[in-house]
C-alpha cells in the first residue's frame, strides 16, 4: 500500500517537473526534449504527457509534434491572480471589522461543492473560533456557506440540500432576500457568524465576507449593527471590484 502511495506521489512530481520545463524561452517542446529535461524514459514521459494533454494541462500541435501549456494552466493562473486581487481589496475592510469588534474575519469562495477560506484575520481574544486558510467547509451549514449557496443555481441548491438537508430551500431563498446570513451554532456549537455577499462587475456573487466568534460575545441587541457593518464592508469591496451600486443587496 505504501509503495503504491509513493508511486502516485512520484507520478505527480514527474508531472510537475514536465510542466516546469516550459518557460518564456521554451514555449513549445517535443517529447524527446521533455524526456531529456526531466530525465525520464520516452515511454514514461509519453504516458504522463498524454495524461496532461487529456486533462488540458498540455496541448499538442499535430503538425510540429510539439507540446505547449494547455488552457487549464491559463485558467488556474487567472484564478490565482483573481483571488489575489480579491484578497488585496478585501483586507483593509477585514481589518476594519476586526478592529471594531475584535472578532475573527474570514473571506470564503466556492470550490466545487464546498467553500474554501482564502483569507483570515484573527481576533486577539484567547477564546476564538479557529479556521485556517485553505480549509474546505460545507455550503449547507454556517453563515458563509448558506450565503454562498443562496446565490448558486437552483439545481445545485437542491442537490446539496438533498445530500445534507440541514436547512431548506425556503430558508436559502430568505437569505438571498435579506442579503446576509446569520449562523448560531449551525456548524459549531456556541459559535455565531454573520456573512454578506461580495459581487463582481457582472453582478455575480464571488465571495462571502464574515465575522465569527463565541456566541456569548454576540449580544442580541448588537446584532443589527454588526450585520450592517459586515454588509457595508462587503458592499465596499464589491464596488472596488466594479459592481454597480444600483444593484440591491
Q: Are residues 226 and 107 in the same domain?
A: yes
> Of 69, 87, 122, at which residue does a domain stop?
69
**Same-domain pairing of 129 and 11:** no
- If asked whether residues 125 and 175 sit together in one domain, one would say yes
Contact present, 177 and 150 (Cβ < 8 Å): no
Return all residues near 186 (Cβ < 8 A) that are at least 6 apart. 141, 142, 143, 146, 166
- Do 124 and 229 reside in the same domain of the chain? yes
* Of the residues 50, 69, 88, the one at which a domain ends: 69
C-beta of residue 204 within 8 angstroms of C-beta of residue 82: no
DSSP code string of 168-223: -HHHHHHHHHHT-EEEESSSSTTEEEEEEEEE-TTS-EEEEEEEEEEGGGS-GGGH
Q: Which of 17, 40, 69 is the last residue in one of the domains?
A: 69
Pairwise CA distance, residues 98 & 77, whole Å: 30
97 and 201 in one domain?
Answer: yes
- Asked if 181 and 125 sit in the same domain, the reply is yes
Give dist(CA 120, CA 105) in Å, integer: 6
Residue 247, in any domain of the structure = no
- Can you give the CATH number for the domain in which 188 is found? 3.30.450.40
Q: Are 8 and 42 members of one domain?
A: yes
- pLDDT at site 201: 83
Name the maximum alpha-carbon separation found in the chain. Answer: 70
- The CATH number covering residue 44 comes to 1.10.10.10
- Which pLDDT belongs to residue 4? 55
Q: What's the half-sphere exposure (Cβ side, CA atoms, 13 Å) at 119? A: 21
Among candidates 4, 35, 2, which has minimal Cα distance to 18?
Answer: 35
Q: Counting beta carbons within 10 angstroms of the beta carbon of residue 113, is it exposed (0 to 12), middle (13 to 18) or buried (19 or more)?
A: middle
Within-domain flag for 85: yes
Q: How many CB atoms lie within 10 A of CB 28?
A: 15
Range of the domain at 171: 79-240
| Domains in the chain, number | 2
Question: Are 157 and 231 within one domain?
Answer: yes
Shared-domain flag, residues 224 and 108: yes
Task: Calculate the CA dihedral of residues 67, 68, 72, 75 and round it to 10 degrees.
Answer: -170
- CB neighbours of 140 closer than 8 A, spacing ≥ 6? 146, 149, 160, 161, 163, 164, 166, 167
Which residues lie below 8 Å from residue 185, measured CB to CB, with a gap of 6+? 191, 192, 215
pLDDT beneath 50: ranges in the chain = 1-3, 247-249
What predicted TM-score, i.e. pTM, was given to this entire model? Answer: 0.67
Alpha helical stretches, state H, 61-200: 71-101, 143-150, 154-163, 169-178
Is residue 222, in this structure, part of any structural domain at all? yes
Residue 93 lies in a domain: yes
Cβ atoms within 10 Å of 30's Cβ, excluding its own:
12
Domain shared by 53 and 153, yes or no: no
122's CB contacts (< 8 A; 6+ apart) are 98, 104, 128
Q: In this structure, are 6 and 65 located in the same domain?
A: yes
57 with 86, same domain: the answer is: no
Residue 171 is assigned to a structural domain of this protein: yes
- 61, 31 in Cβ contact below 8 A? no
Residue 77 and residue 22 in contact, taking contact as beta carbons nearer than 8 Å: no
Cβ–Cβ under 8 Å, residues 128 and 104: yes
Amino acid at each position: 500500500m505504501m509503495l503504491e502511495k509513493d508511486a502516485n506521489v512520484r507520478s505527480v512530481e514527474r508531472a510537475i517537473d514536465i510542466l516546469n520545463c516550459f518557460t518564456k524561452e521554451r514555449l513549445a517542446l517535443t517529447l524527446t526534449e521533455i524526456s531529456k529535461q526531466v530525465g525520464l524514459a520516452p515511454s514514461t514521459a509519453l504516458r504522463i504527457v498524454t495524461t496532461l494533454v487529456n486533462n488540458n494541462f498540455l496541448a499538442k500541435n499535430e503538425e510540429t509534434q510539439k507540446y505547449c501549456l494547455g488552457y487549464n494552466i491559463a485558467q488556474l493562473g487567472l484564478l490565482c491572480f483573481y483571488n489575489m486581487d480579491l484578497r488585496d481589496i478585501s483586507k483593509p475592510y477585514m481589518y476594519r471589522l476586526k478592529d471594531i469588534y475584535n472578532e475573527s474575519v474570514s473571506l470564503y469562495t466556492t470550490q466545487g461543492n464546498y467553500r474554501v477560506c482564502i483569507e483570515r484575520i484573527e481576533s486577539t481574544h484567547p477564546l476564538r473560533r479557529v479556521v485556517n486558510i485553505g480549509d474546505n467547509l460545507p455550503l449547507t451549514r454556517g453563515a458563509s456557506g448558506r450565503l454562498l449557496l443562496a446565490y448558486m443555481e437552483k439545481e445545485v441548491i437542491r442537490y446539496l440540500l438533498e445530500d445534507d438537508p440541514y436547512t431548506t430551500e425556503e430558508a436559502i431563498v430568505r437569505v438571498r432576500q435579506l442579503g446576509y446570513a446569520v449562523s448560531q451554532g449551525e456548524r459549531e456549537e456556541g459559535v455565531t457568524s454573520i456573512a454578506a455577499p461580495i459581487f463582481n462587475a457582472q453582478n455575480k456573487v464571488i465571495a462571502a465576507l464574515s465575522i465569527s466568534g463565541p456566541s456569548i460575545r454576540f449580544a442580541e441587541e448588537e446584532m443589527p449593527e454588526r450585520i450592517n457593518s459586515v454588509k457595508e464592508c462587503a458592499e465596499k469591496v464589491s464596488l472596488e471590484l466594479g459592481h454597480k451600486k444600483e444593484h440591491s443587496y
